Structure 1
Amino acid sequence: MRQTFAPALLLLLSACGGGAEKTEAPAEPAGQAEAGTPPAATGPSLALAPAAFAQCATCHAIKPGVNAVGPSLFAVYGRKAATGPAYAYSEAMKASGLTWDDATLDSYLTAPMKHVPGTKMTYAGMADAAKRKEVIEFLKTLK
């Protein structure tokens, strides 16, 4: 009996979704247009990030208003340090007076704990200057 059941099951399963007709998915989930809330996929995508950014993505989100272990990096470039919304920054970062530009980010990403002693960011740093540049260029796109 099992020998006839397995091929029949495979035939049945292979018929699922294999037809020539395609149905379009709705543009928005039901009820979302009425509520006026943006879809969850709004904002930048990690698919566009350089490979070196994977280290950053373990602790930081890139969507607006989404904090993780670290604050969201959305619109961080050009912003004064410790001013992102709804994140509990360290006193050291609040007092740093930094503004996130190319030079500051490059120095900070090289050795965060040396650049801002007392920062919550326990990342050892990114030694490769080319990778830091790629990350900084990506951060500039997060707006």
Structure 2
Amino acid sequence: MIGRMLAASAVALTLTGGAAIAESHGGMEITGDAEAGERVFRKCRACHMVGEDAQNRVGPVLNGVIGRNVASVEDFAYSDTLATMGEEGKTWTPEEMAAFLEKPRDYAEGTKMAFAGLRKEEDRADVIAYLATFGTEGDGGS
């Protein structure tokens, strides 16, 4: 069954020329284009890392962020607002991440994230799709 799903995804990706298609990520729908998201993520690299050797910088490591509890990366000092959200059990769903990425300071007053946000909905969806490609160890798993 999984093999058929993977084959269908590969066919869909080929037929759409890499365009965005809805995918499930732990039961959450991801609709952006991961390849385009990698390009948009270049803005984020000054503060965040993804991949196998990722480390906390000014911002936390983003491996496995989609579906993870807010403010849950070890050894990272989050703002009080994000820490409280994490303690309350809030999760980085695609919807929550999109709201945060649109206007971080409006989403989490007092956030330490200096980035003003991504105005375009498509850019937010694409970055989320890109981030969803990284497992917790940065290995491309989920």
- Report the TM range for the smaller structure's normalisation: 0.5 to 0.7
Aligned length: 97
Contact 2:104 2:116 in 1 (8 A): yes
Could you say what the CA RMSD is over the residues aligned between the two structures, in angstroms? Answer: 1.8
How high is the sequence identity, in percent, across the aligned residues? Answer: 32
SS at 2:115's partner residue? coil
Does 1 or 2 have the higher relative contact order (CA < 8 Å, sep 6+)?
2
- In the superposition, relative to structure 1, how do residues 108 and 53 fare at CA in structure 2: closer, same or farther (>3 Å)? same
Query: When you count strand as a share of all residues, which structure comes out higher?
Result: 2
Taking structure 2 as the reference length, the TM-score comes to: 0.63
| Shift in Å, 1:90 | 1.2
| Corresponding residue to 1:94 among 83, 91, 98 | 83
Query: Which blocks of at least 5 consecutive residues in structure 2 are unaligned?
Result: 1-34, 136-142
Larger Rg: 1
Give the Cα separation in 1 of the matches to 2:39 and 2:84: 31
Tell me the equivalent position of 1:141.
133
Taking structure 1 as the reference length, the TM-score comes to: 0.63
Query: Which blocks of at least 5 consecutive residues in structure 1 are unaligned?
Result: 1-46
Is 1:117 the counterpart of 2:105 in the alignment?
A: no
**Deviations along 1:2-26, whole A, 9 cap, x unmatched?**
xxxxxxxxxxxxxxxxxxxxxxxxx
Contact 1:76 1:84 in 2 (8 A): no
